[in-house]
A and B are shown apart, each in its own frame.
Chain A
Amino acid sequence: MDPRPGDDQAAESSGAADRRRVVRDAAGTAGQVLLAAALGLIIGAVLMEIAGYDWTRAYQGLWLGAFGDPWSVADTLASATPLILTGLAFGLCFRAGYFNIGGQGQMTVGALAAVVVGAYIPVPTPVAVFLVLLAAGAAGAVWSLTPAFLKATRGVHEVISTIMFNWIAFYLALYLAFYSLNDPQSAERTVRVLPGVRLAPLLAGADATAAIFIAAGIALALYWLLWHTPWGYEMRVAGLNPSALRYAGASPVWTINWTFMLAGMAAGIAGATQIIGRPPTYALYGDLSNLGDLGFDGIAVALIGRNHPIGIIASAVFFGALGSGARMMQIMAGVPLDMVRIVHGVIIIALAAPEVWSIIAKSLVRRRAARTEPVSAQAPNSPARR
């Protein structure tokens, strides 16, 4: 397979071999994913069979509910939209070697910012939408910067601080939604955003709006940042080998803050898309129920997407398909939502297993390396210090 050494066209055919290897790796990954999905589906079928449900009909429902007609496809994309962004919020930090569990809180403050700006600042439409996204992104960034700053300067572990910040965001949002942003006519939700910032459905009778392009655009931009700019290079180096980053003279403090800020922005904008890009409410419910657990779901989305922006888009669409398919699994096969969730959980675990395993393996290798080479234990975010 490999080019023979000494060949006249060694350089050229080695380039071709590289390309071939990339294609082969991609095909291998795709094959691995599809097999994992098949395994998950089979276990799900067994579970449904044991519980006494018609699993062929349930899977028919899953497929038709996700991709059966244009509306289903649109609903799938609508569900995928916020997940792309919360997936990026986790995946980006993971690439740089940090665990951002704070996507939920960053999304929540983003949604709050979207309500405030969207409902109270009357400006022409395109500007208004931009302003809302900007405000939501900024709010999410601010929310993630504090944990990042604590991590960079005081060594506070980001898992703890981001989880705490989720709770602060949760109660802050509950408070504001009930007492400050409350719609006097309808106490269960905040005021609606102005009609000018509400994104219209792409297809009449379906939920998908232009928000899907915003989310995909951000994913592509982050891909470009990670693999085609020096900043992105530093982020990836930080994740692969933090000591190397220091030896190369780059500042880990700077990398941490920068990475978390971008991640927070993505999550904040996810909150905004749920407010301005999801008919018919265009407001935040007082119990935050239209945000659900989208921030936490982003972690699973990122893991299945192998923490790669393009992979995250695919993975979010897959999650969206499961969500949209859940509808028809209930309607067509009468499988209750709890059972649907169990089946989805099995499929998700099957898909995430290879990535989770490789993370554990990598961490073990690092730990062993850290033990034999004490110098690398100096790195601020080496697992040995955790």
Chain B
Amino acid sequence: MRKWSLLAGLLLVAFTVAFTAWPAAAQGQGSLAVVYDVGGRGDLSFNDMAAMGADRARRELGVMVTEVESATTADFLPNLRALARSRQHDVIVGIGFLIQDALTTVAQEFPNQKFALIDGFVDAPNVLSISFSDHEGSALVGALAAMTTLEAGGDTVGIVLGIEIPILLRFEIGYRAGVRWAVDRYNELHGTNKQVRVLHTYTGAFDDPARGKAATEAMLAQGAHVVYAVAGGTGLGVFEAVEQAARAQGRDVGPPFAIGVDSAQDWIAPGFIPVSMVKRVDNGVFAAIEQALAGTFEGGVLQLNLAAGGVAASSLDMLDVFMDEAVAAGKMRPEERVARLEGARAAREAVPPSAWEALNELDQLIRSGDYEVPEALDRETAEYWREVLSN
């Protein structure tokens, strides 16, 4: 026993001596740090989009990139502090609304450190709050959903969401507005008086496909033709439910259809996702480090809307890029690529041309400022718009 403890003691001493010295900091062109949301890398959605932006900054600006994932929400604060304390990063970017509390605290503690926050707002001169016009992008896919339903003689669409945070209310009301706009346009063109009902469910999770699936099955049972998944990993259950429902009717292509979110998710259930609402979180991350390096960084809000390329309806070109990402992340085998792309193309063709026309027309109207999509960031406003848009 004595021999053992002596040996162990020696090991401990060696370990301590070896690892106490702080290593010299590597000096690069600049440095970007990213703190991911809970759920982290590999969600094929929100966080992976942020990582894409960091990769682009590494390639195009030659910056060093430090990435930190957070195991729980309690890790946000120490993760941000550890990065700020090292004083090595030109800007530290927090990903996601949930990190807002922690970032508010750390921005006060380190007033000389630049921060950026995706999807939240911190009122401090050293924080760039990056906000996306989720309502505009959601209106586009809402118009497509409504037209698809109407052309098939249906009257119901759905939206399955994650946790009821302000950002998601913005998605929901934008989607409802797009549906309403398309229905009004359809009635005007055809001289009819049709209506489309929008079902919504907040599942309370961003990482629970089972709940997404259950919510979607309930919507399909009520006659929903298209279901929009705004729920990170929970959305994978939406895709599964829609695909199963179609296959049960002997179809390899929708209807019913699902709509993806954040990244171009069209490839995940090929044949059943005609479009995704792409949120260019990557552009937000890139803008933060670009501004910090150029010396143009100022606190305040950077609004990335449809016109600025912050949000968009996915295209096949975009899909190509995201499939590269998925292959690189090991989420898709390279040999599946062609088949999945074909599936996505088939889903696009299964949606009536008039739905694409409506989407493109609304896109132009929003860009030109001729149509303003209502925005809701709290329950009360959301309740008001639900009422207004369904009458």
Contacts and interface: CB of A to CB of B under 8 A. Distances in A.
A25 B4 CA distance: 12
Interface residues of B, number: 54
Contacts of A24: 1-2
A287 B205 contact: yes
A31 B7 contact: yes
B263 to A, nearest CB: 19
A278 B74 contact: yes
Contact of B66 (A28, A32, A289, A334): A334
Contact of B12 (A34, A64, A287, A327): A34
B272 to A, nearest CB: 27
Interface string B1-16: 1101111110110011
Contacts of B5: 27-28, 30-31, 34
Contacts of B69: 330, 336-337
A188 B120 CA distance: 13
Contact of B104 (A57, A278, A280): A280
Given A59-B19, A279-B105, A289-B38, A337 B71 contact: yes
Contacts of B104: 280
B41 A336 contact: yes
A contact patch SS: helix
A88 to B, nearest CB: 20
Interface of A: 24-25, 27-28, 30-35, 38, 41, 57, 59-60, 62-65, 68, 71, 75, 78, 174, 178, 184-188, 205-207, 274, 278-281, 285-287, 289-292, 323-324, 326-328, 330-332, 334, 336-337
Given A68-B20, A174-B204, 18 more contacts: A24-B1, A31-B4, A31-B9, A35-B11, A38-B11, A64-B22, A188-B164, A205-B109, A279-B105, A280-B104, A287-B206, A290-B72, A330-B69, A331-B33, A331-B83, A332-B23, A336-B69, A337-B71
Interface of B: 1-2, 4-9, 11-12, 15-16, 18-20, 22-23, 33, 38, 40-41, 66-69, 71-75, 77-79, 81-83, 85-86, 97-98, 101-102, 104-105, 109, 163-166, 204-206, 378-379
27 contacts: A27-B1, A28-B5, A31-B4, A31-B5, A31-B7, A31-B8, A34-B5, A34-B12, A35-B4, A38-B8, A38-B11, A60-B18, A60-B19, A64-B22, A65-B82, A71-B85, A184-B379, A187-B164, A207-B74, A280-B77, A287-B163, A287-B204, A327-B79, A328-B82, A330-B67, A331-B33, A337-B41
